[in-house]
Every structure is written in structure tokens, then in C-alpha cells.
Chains A and B, each alone.
Chain A
Amino acid sequence: MRRFNGRRFFACTPSKPVDDCKTGTETIRAMPHSANSNEPLVKIRGLRFFRGDRPIFDGVDIDIPRGSITAIMGPSGTGKTTLLKLIGGQLRPQAGTIHVDGQDVHRLALRDLYKLRMRMGMLFQSGALLTDINVYENVAYPLREHTRLPQSMIRKLVLMKLEAVGLRGARDLMPAELSGGMARRVALARAIALDPMMIMYDEPFTGQDPISMGVLAQLIRRLNSASSLTSMVVSHDVHETAEIADITYVIANGEVVASGPSKEVLNSDCPWVRQFMRGEADGPVPLHFPTKRSLEEDILGEAHRKTGTCR
């Protein structure tokens, strides 16, 4: 087991992150937000998930403590979105368990899964707004589906949520008339419409200008402290995210390579993390999608291999 900064509560190892994770999260559990129960809200154990033969996750353990903001970082294509879909029960892992609020997501009956999802908000990377209804109706949608509130009440709630993301003035626009960043913020307003117990944000900051980025970060922070909400933020925006997140997990190559309080992870000497945080092309995290042949072989074909062996 490699240890890079000697601190006990900080884990940085690609091979066996579990033990250190525990010590890492122990400190977090004592945080002021942590609610009624000491159990983490989301508990992932031994998660294995394959796309075809390619492992996306190979034995991942993650704890999301209640009331915290947890950041999940990692290079593009490591499976961050996949992780959120696994937690939401939209994908089924080949092995391992995911417990949300004490319930095993993949063993629930469909009805119970839907009940659980009502308490989980998810902000999709693409926004995933319904394109045939306008912004107002999109935000009102979950309220109309799951509550029997009168119209006037729904109106108040929708306008409040839209105000929170700074888009009250855009309520009559259709999704096609929004920019990518605006669509994401409308989707956020929709995700918080039902006041869920946890929200999963998939890349909330991409496509936002510095102002709305700051507003969003504040909003996520505020939502979290106002109610006993638990948040998971998947993001590439290292510093923006580390600013608001209590805990950070860094995923690469299907494993948790680093985890612990955000500040520690951010300032760590761990090469995996340092490469990712500083955006270096060279390092333990490969930029390239896995392949069996070298670039020379791919480009020059068999000829290269033959001359290569001759020499």
C-alpha cells in the first residue's frame, strides 16, 4: 500500500483503497450536518460493472455521508455518469451492492424503487428537459406528477425554484430556446422541485460562465446547509468543486485512487491526483482509451511490425 503524505485519514492508493477510505470518512461523519443516523446515505461495496468485456468499475467502495457534499472526480470516460446511473437504479452492476438510505437499490421492487427515486434528485449532464413543454412546465412536472398541490401553490414553488437558479424570466421559453448552461440550470430547478433527500449533480458547472458558476456553487452549498440534503457532485472543475465539497473521491481506471476531505485530496502529492488536478498529460492516469496496439502499429500497419522485428 502506497502512502504519500503520511496522513492517516487520507487515502491514496489505486490497489486497495478500502481501509483508508474508512478512516477518511470517519472524520466526516462527525460533521455538523450529519443527521439522525450514522449510516452513510449511500453505501457502495465491491461494485463491479462491465460494458461488454471492459471493466468500468472493478471493486469500488464509496460512502456518501448524510448531509455532506461529496465530489466525484475523474478523467472523462471513467464512468462517473455510469456511477450515478447505478445509484439511481437505471443500470445493474455485475457484482457488489449499493445501499441508499439503507435500501439495496438493485433488490427493490419496482414500486419501491420509484418511491426511493422520488427522494433522489438527479441533474443530467445534458439537462434532459422535456422538449415539448416550456421551462415553467418542466419545473412543474414532478410537482404535478407526485403531489396534489393546487395550481397557485405549484406556481409559487416553480417561480421560487426558477428564481433560485436565476431563470425566473425565462419561464415561458421552450427548452430548444435555451443555451446549454441555461438548460442545465432549469434541470437543477426541476431536480430540487420535490425537495429530495439527496441530489446527484452530473457536471453542473460545465458550460457556465464564471458568474453563474459561482451562483451555482453557492446554490449547491446553500441547498445543502438549509435542509439536511446530501449532495454528490460529479465534476471536472477541480477548484470550483473542491471549494464546496466536504469529501472528494477521485476515480480512475475503475478504482477509487484517492479519497478523503477535499482539501487534503486537492493538496496531496499523490501522482494520480496531482496529474488530474494539474491537467498533465503524462502520469499514471492514461489520456488514451485502452488499446492493444501501439500508435505506430495502428498507423503503419503490418509493414512496421515486420521491419521492426528485422531490426
Chain B
Amino acid sequence: MPLMESLAQLGRIGLGIFERLGRGHLLLAHILAGLGPLAVRPRLLIIQIHSVGVLSLLIITVSGLFVGMVLALQGHYTLSQFGAEDSLGIMVAAALVRELGPVVTALLFAGRAGSALTAEIGLMKATEQLSGLEMMAVDPVKRVLTPRFLAGLISMPLLAAIFSMVGVLGGHFVGIGLLGVDEGAYWSQMQAKIDLHEDIYNGVIKSLVFGFVCTWIALFQGYDATPTSEGVSRATTRTVVHSALAVLGLDFVLTALMFGD
């Protein structure tokens, strides 16, 4: 009966996936229910914005700088074949604001902040700190997870904006400094062609969605982790993998919805 066996196996895996999805949504509802009480304790949020957002600044700015510089190099090569070097500014800015800013920031965020969140929550569970809070009549989801969730949601668009900004500067540095593109053209083309709604707002929406999904995945994986060192390590890996897949998949969907007409 190998066929029946494998069918049953398939069914079990499917059920497992749906069960996890269900638990994930229940947790999300629980996290969101904690937003009200959080309003009276802004300190909790500020601490988390520091550890989730501010501490991610270094990797975000450095990566933004290099991505901008590479974009300028590659873009210049292609554009110069059509004699359109002057459009380098718009090319760099559009690529960053629409696409690379939100996506690369989200991927870096998952690796830097998401994995840290999962490990932290998972270890708090493994060392019974979450149980301890429960027995102190403190809801660990509202007290521990909600501030982290909101911090991720707030930090992601800001980080993506900083990424894009630094990227534009990096492109400027390479394009004008090394490749001799006209500085006036670089800025004025960018100013003229980048649209507030079409480009900037859509980019912000993307990074809000990514922030939501990445933080949610990270918190769920930590909260749902098997409370052992191995369980936490596997949960951390899952956070990075699932976040990356979710971001890239959602990016396609969002881009198709926003820009594909």
C-alpha cells in the first residue's frame, strides 16, 4: 500500500500546514487585540523600535549605498548605449523607490531583525519566561509580542525610505563622480519624473505590507517554536526562509496590482 501511505502522508502534511496557518491567524488576532493597551505604555514600543529599527540602521545604510552604486554602474552601461546617460537619475531613483528599497530592506530586515525576534521569543518560551508572565497574570502576547509587532510595522517603511535615500546618494556618487554624468540632469530628471503617488506612495505601501508580514512571521515562529535549542534554531531558519519567500511572492502580486495596467 505505498500509494495509500504516501497519500496519507500528503494529507497529514496538508493538515499540518493549515493548522499552523490557523494558529498564526489566531496569534495575529491576539497581537492586534493588544494594540489598545499598548497606547498607555509607549515606553514598551520605543524600546522595541530601538532594537528592531535603530539597530538595523547600519546594515540598511551600507547595503543601500552599495546597491545604489551598482545600479548606477549597470544603468550607465545600458543607458550609454542609447546615449541616454542623462536619465541615470530617474533610473536609479525609480528602481530604488519602487522595487529595491522595499524588497531588499525587507530581506535584510528578515535576516537582521526577524531572526533576532524569533530567537528571542523562542528562548523566552524555552526558559519559561512566557509561562512565568502568564502566571503573574500578565498576557505574554500583549505584553511581549504586540510592542514588537508594532515596532516592526513602523520601522520597515522608515528603513526602506532610508535605504532608497542612501541608494540615490550612492548612485550620485558613482554616476557623477566616476562616470561623469551631468549633475543637473541627474537631479532634475529625477525630480520631474518620480511621481509622489505612483512611485513613492506605492513603495511605502509595499514596505508596510512587508513589515507586517515579516514581523508576523518572525513572532509566530518564535511563539510556536519547540521550546528547545534545536527547535529555536529551526524556527529562526524558518523565519528567514518564509519571510524571503513571502516578500518576493507578495512583491510580484503588489507590483502587478500597482503598476501593471
CB distance B127 to A90 under 8 Å?
A: no
CB distance A117 to B135 under 8 Å?
A: yes
Determine whether A115 belongs to the interface, using a CB cutoff of 8 Å to chain B. Answer: yes
| CA–CA, A128 and B133, complex, Å | 9
CB distance B128 to A128 under 8 Å?
A: yes
| CA–CA, A102 and B187, complex, Å | 74
Q: Return chain B residues, CB-CB under 8 Å to A117.
A: 134-137
Give the shortest distance, in Å, between A79 (CB) and chain B (any CB): 16
Determine whether A35 belongs to the interface, using a CB cutoff of 8 Å to chain B. Answer: no
Q: What total of A-B pairs shows CB separation below 8 Å? A: 48
CB distance A130 to B135 under 8 Å?
A: no
Determine whether B138 belongs to the interface, using a CB cutoff of 8 Å to chain A. Answer: yes
CB distance B137 to A126 under 8 Å?
A: no
Count how many chain B residues have C-beta atoms less than 8 Å from C-beta atoms of the other chain.
Answer: 13
CB distance B138 to A122 under 8 Å?
A: no
CB distance B132 to A128 under 8 Å?
A: yes
- Mark the stretch among A21-29, A139-147, A259-267 that contacts chain B: A139-147
Q: Which residue of A lies closest to B143 (CB)?
A: A145
Determine whether B251 belongs to the interface, using a CB cutoff of 8 Å to chain A. Answer: no
| CA–CA, A49 and B128, complex, Å | 21
Question: Which residues from 121 to 141 on chain B have a C-beta closer than 8 Å to any C-beta of chain A?
Answer: 124, 127-129, 131-139
Q: Return chain A residues, CB-CB under 8 Å to B128.
A: 124, 126, 128
Q: Return chain A residues, CB-CB under 8 Å to B137.
A: 114-115, 117-118, 142, 145-146
| CA–CA, A307 and B133, complex, Å | 57
Bitwise, A99-124 to B at CB < 8 A (1) or not (0) is 00000000000000011011011101
Give the shortest distance, in Å, between B140 (CB) and chain A (any CB): 11
Q: Return chain B residues, CB-CB under 8 Å to A90.
A: 131, 134-135
CB distance A114 to B139 under 8 Å?
A: yes
Bitwise, A134-152 to B at CB < 8 A (1) or not (0) is 0000000110011000000
CB distance A145 to B136 under 8 Å?
A: yes
CB distance B131 to A145 under 8 Å?
A: no
Q: Return chain B residues, CB-CB under 8 Å to A128.
A: 127-129, 131-132
Q: Return chain A residues, CB-CB under 8 Å to B131.
A: 85, 90, 124, 128
Give the interface size bracket for A toward B: 20 to 34
Q: Return chain A residues, CB-CB under 8 Å to B129.
A: 128-131
Contact of A122 among B124, B127, B135, B139 (CB under 8 A): B135
Q: Which residue of B lies closest to A122 (CB)?
A: B135
Q: Return chain A residues, CB-CB under 8 Å to B132.
A: 122, 124, 128-130, 187
| CA–CA, A120 and B137, complex, Å | 9
Contact of B135 among A120, A129, A146 (CB under 8 A): A120
Q: Return chain A residues, CB-CB under 8 Å to B136.
A: 117-118, 141-142, 145, 190
Contact of A88 among B124, B127, B133, B135 (CB under 8 A): B135
Q: Return chain A residues, CB-CB under 8 Å to B127.
A: 126, 128, 131
Q: Return chain B residues, CB-CB under 8 Å to A145.
A: 136-138
Give the shortest distance, in Å, between B8 (CB) and chain A (any CB): 19
| CA–CA, A105 and B200, complex, Å | 53
Give the shortest distance, in Å, between B58 (CB) and chain A (any CB): 22
| CA–CA, A129 and B132, complex, Å | 8
| CA–CA, A142 and B143, complex, Å | 12
Question: Which residues from 61 to 93 on chain B have a C-beta closer than 8 Å to any C-beta of chain A?
Answer: none
Give the shortest distance, in Å, between B71 (CB) and chain A (any CB): 40
Bitwise, A181-200 to B at CB < 8 A (1) or not (0) is 00000010010000000000
Give the shortest distance, in Å, between B79 (CB) and chain A (any CB): 51
Q: Return chain A residues, CB-CB under 8 Å to B139.
A: 114
Q: Return chain B residues, CB-CB under 8 Å to A118.
A: 136-137
Interface centre among A115, A128, A130, A146 (most CB of B within 10 A): A128
| CA–CA, A141 and B134, complex, Å | 13
Q: Return chain B residues, CB-CB under 8 Å to A130.
A: 129, 132-133
| CA–CA, A115 and B138, complex, Å | 10
| CA–CA, A122 and B134, complex, Å | 10
| CA–CA, A121 and B137, complex, Å | 10
Q: Return chain B residues, CB-CB under 8 Å to A121.
A: 135
Q: Return chain B residues, CB-CB under 8 Å to A190.
A: 136
Give the shortest distance, in Å, between B188 (CB) and chain A (any CB): 50
Interface centre among B124, B129, B134, B137 (most CB of A within 10 A): B137
Give the shortest distance, in Å, between B222 (CB) and chain A (any CB): 15
Residues in chain B within 8 A of chain A (CB atoms): 124, 127-129, 131-139
- Can you name 6 A-B pairs with beta carbons within 8 Å? A115-B137, A121-B135, A124-B128, A124-B135, A126-B128, A142-B136
A-B pairs, 10 with minimum CB distance: A128-B132, A128-B128, A117-B137, A118-B137, A122-B135, A114-B137, A142-B136, A126-B128, A124-B128, A88-B135
Add 4 more A-B contacts to A117-B137, A126-B127, A128-B132 (CB < 8 A): A122-B132, A142-B138, A145-B138, A146-B137
